[in-house]
Amino acid sequence: PSLFSAIDMAPRDPILGITEAFNADQNPNKINLGVGVYYDDNGKVPLLSCVQKAEEILIAAPAPRTYLPIEGLAAYDKAVQELVFRADSAVIQEKRAVTVQAIGGTGALKIGADFLKRFAPDAEVYISDPSWENHRALFESAGFKVNNYAYFDAATHGVNFAGMLADLKAMPRGAIVLLHACCHNPTGADLTSDQWTEVIAAITAGGLVPFLDMAYQGFGAGIAEDGAVVRRFAEAGGPLLVSNSFSKSFSLYGERVGALSVVASSGEEAARLMSQLKRVVRTNYSNPPVHGGKVVATVLTTPELRQLWEDELAGMRVRIKEMREAFVTKLAAKGHDFAFVRDQIGMFSYSGLSKAQVEQLRAQSIYAVDTGRICVAALNSRNIDVVIDAIAKVL
């Protein structure tokens, strides 16, 4: 037998499995609500005008493709930091925040996980129950034991806050807590501002290490509103890691643009952290790609493109909210109460549909995740009535 002959087939990615089944479906009216991307009202992934205009600027001044520094494009890292923490924040003023460009939000999480493993090898990681399915795999692949903390309450379709707080308070000092900064994936259930106050207090008092994952900034209440929780953690003091992604907010999925920011207790400590982050990047992929970082940096630092981006992102946010509203009112008209969908935030909804109901929907060529997660951004003015009729049939 050769080295490879005994290797097992790896388990299938559940969401990619849906895509495969969807692609194989011959029904021309099939609908995929299992996706993790924003579709516009035409059912297409948009190319934002701000991105197109930034690319025109870049093409007008062709540049050689040299290597970027290990930590990425300086203008990008600065713009990201100011977006995430605000330029006037103490962490930026005191040079306590370090930011490295990363290969999407996933790459940022992986750099953060590898970094933490070097300096907190015995810590355990806690993720929400449920969480984005790659969180567990990413931290396990970095060598951590990964545990769940209570999060979703199926009975209320909201957060089991008492359970979450109790779990936070029971964690050992030094434990790493992964939190969704906004627009929780997969449930769509976020904490209130008052609940965040209690979470920050519990994390500070317990000596825990918060790692905020912000993949949907701007899809909740707004860019500044969604980022507020990051700034509150930064102000609370203590170590902090923040991964952010522009995959969704710039509709730049395939360019892989994200960043990892780490907050230190002093500028001198920050310099040491940066040197170690660079070491992690260097041994993973040496340095990040150029194009996506340049596009995002150009948009964020050119006032009229920045305004255009904010308007376009607001358009995506508003359209999702309209789809939530239509979903609730149209099901209500058929006698079904889904009012909770209106209160959920971001691209996703834990719809409460059971695995059996999801299977029955699939028989009608409507695809969702077995857990009942639907992507609200995959609904549009032309497919919503078909979806509502199909759901009403399986209820």
How far from 200 is each of 205, 233, 263, 393, CA to CA, in Å?
A: 8, 7, 15, 44
By CB under 6 A, name the one of 181, 215, 295, 313 that touches ligand PLP: 215
Within 126-155, which residues bind ligand PLP (CB under 6 A)? Answer: 132
Angular region, 198: left φ>0, alpha ψ -120 to 50, beta rest? alpha
213 included as an active-site residue: yes
Angle between helix 267-284 and helix 104-119 axes, rounded to 10 deg: 110
By CB under 6 A, name the one of 114, 190, 213, 255 that touches ligand PLP: 213
Closer residue to ligand PLP in complex, CB, 184/324:
184
Task: Provide the strand spans (E) within 8-162.
Answer: 31-32, 97-103, 125-129, 146-150, 152-153, 158-159
Q: How far apart are CA 108 and CA 101, in angstroms?
A: 8
309 included as an active-site residue: no
Is the distance from CB of 211 to CB of 176 less than 8 angstroms? yes
Catalytic residue among 248, 294, 309, 330: 248
247 binds ligand PLP (CB under 6 A): yes
End-to-end CA distance of the chain: 52
Provide the 3-class DSSP secondary structure of residue 257: strand
Within 44-103, which residues bind ligand PLP (CB under 6 A)? Answer: none
Closer residue to ligand PLP in complex, CB, 106/351:
106
104 binds ligand PLP (CB under 6 A): yes
By CB under 6 A, name the one of 245, 261, 364, 380 that touches ligand PLP: 245
Catalytic residue among 77, 167, 190, 213: 213
Radius of gyration of the chain (CA): 21
Closer residue to ligand PLP in complex, CB, 180/362:
180
Closer residue to ligand PLP in complex, CB, 105/218:
105
Active site residues: 132, 213, 248
Q: Which residues make up the interface to ligand PLP (CB under 6 A)?
A: 36, 104-106, 132, 180, 185, 213, 215, 245, 247, 258
